[in-house]
Amino acid sequence: MEIILIIIFISFVAGIIAGFGGSSAFIPIVGLIILTNLNPAQISGTIATSFFIATLFGTYLYWKSGNHNIKILSIIIPPGILGTQIGVQINSYINDEIFTIITGIIAIVLGLLLLKPYVIKSKNNYNLNLKLIKGKIILISIGLFVGIIAGITGIGGIPIIVPTLLLLQVNPLTSIASGFAVATANTFVTSITYISQNVVQFEYVLYIGLSFGLAQTIGWKISHKISFDRLKLILGIFNILLGGYLII
């Protein structure tokens, strides 16, 4: 019972952070790694199924506030779905230690990219332009990469999509909304795949999914009050700290 309460608590905290675009999907993963004896496939499948419930709710919130960009979603979601199947196959070949290290490295790299503007001043930031082929190729590449990571870890892609779109100078709320929509698509496909493999631990799905999903309302309200630069700074520091913890 104590373990369940801890999982509910950390999922609720993670949901608040995710609501304003924070890279919090790693928190429930860390919880399952530390508190349970689940293997990588069981963790990924359970997280994917839990996050489908949560991200679907988050997608609705940002749809309600009119922050979705259909053009971005139409380009980035299809390759993401393809990538999830590649990621699921990769997951079957890795052990617990490698799984944890991969998750930590991803978090740290994203954090460093977000903090780059505060360390290295540059005027050559790329602005995403979907009228150009280059802009579309960038989105397709991001979608495929995020899908692969989603298949390996079970996260839908919010921790990757949001920081990446912010770096491409996409509107913060649109970036967060896109992260939720992509995550919903990725976690749905990923969860179906893991469910078919009979590795999803449904006793944890409800606790994580509902706690995470409901808490997103708080984060959603925060997102409409926080500045663009402050959001990048918070996400960058959070990613590095969490990634370092996972690796150490």
Instruction: Dump pLDDT digits (tens) for 18-48.
Output: 776 666 667 888 888 888 888 888 998 998 8
> For residue 65, what are the domain limits?
2-247
CA dihedral 140, 143, 148, 152 (to 10 degrees): 180
Mean pLDDT across 194-200: 93
- Model confidence at 226, pLDDT cuts 50, 70, 90, reads low
Query: Distance of alpha carbon 71 from its chain centroid, rounded?
Result: 20
Q: Regarding predicted confidence, which is higher, 242 or 204?
A: 204
Q: What percent of the chain has pLDDT over 70?
A: 90
Residues 6 or more apart whose Cβ sits within 8 Å of residue 158 = 18, 21, 23, 25, 55, 176, 179, 180, 182, 183
pLDDT greater than 80 at residue 105: yes
Compute the mean pLDDT over every residue in the chain, rounded to the nearest whole number: 83
Q: What is the predicted pLDDT for the residue at 23?
A: 61
Start-end of H helices in 20-69: 26-35, 40-64
Residues 6 or more apart whose Cβ sits within 8 Å of residue 78 = 143
pLDDT greater than 70 at residue 227: no
Mean pLDDT across 218-244: 74
Q: What is the predicted pLDDT for the residue at 191?
A: 92
Q: Is residue 59 within 8 Å of 26, Cβ to Cβ?
A: no
Q: What is the predicted pLDDT for the residue at 136?
A: 92
Query: pLDDT tens digits for 40-54?
Result: 889 989 988 988 887
**Which is nearest to 209 in space by CA: 38, 44, 45, 47?**
47
Residue that is written with structure tokens 């299809």 in the block = 78
| Whole-angstrom distance, CA of residue 65 vs CA of residue 185 | 20
State how many domains the chain has: 1
- Model confidence at 171, pLDDT cuts 50, 70, 90, reads confident
| Whole-angstrom distance, CA of residue 94 vs CA of residue 35 | 20
| Whole-angstrom distance, CA of residue 141 vs CA of residue 21 | 21
| Whole-angstrom distance, CA of residue 139 vs CA of residue 48 | 22
| Whole-angstrom distance, CA of residue 120 vs CA of residue 157 | 26
pTM: 0.75
Q: Is residue 46 within 8 Å of 203, Cβ to Cβ?
A: no
pLDDT greater than 90 at residue 169: no
Q: What is the predicted pLDDT for the residue at 198?
A: 94
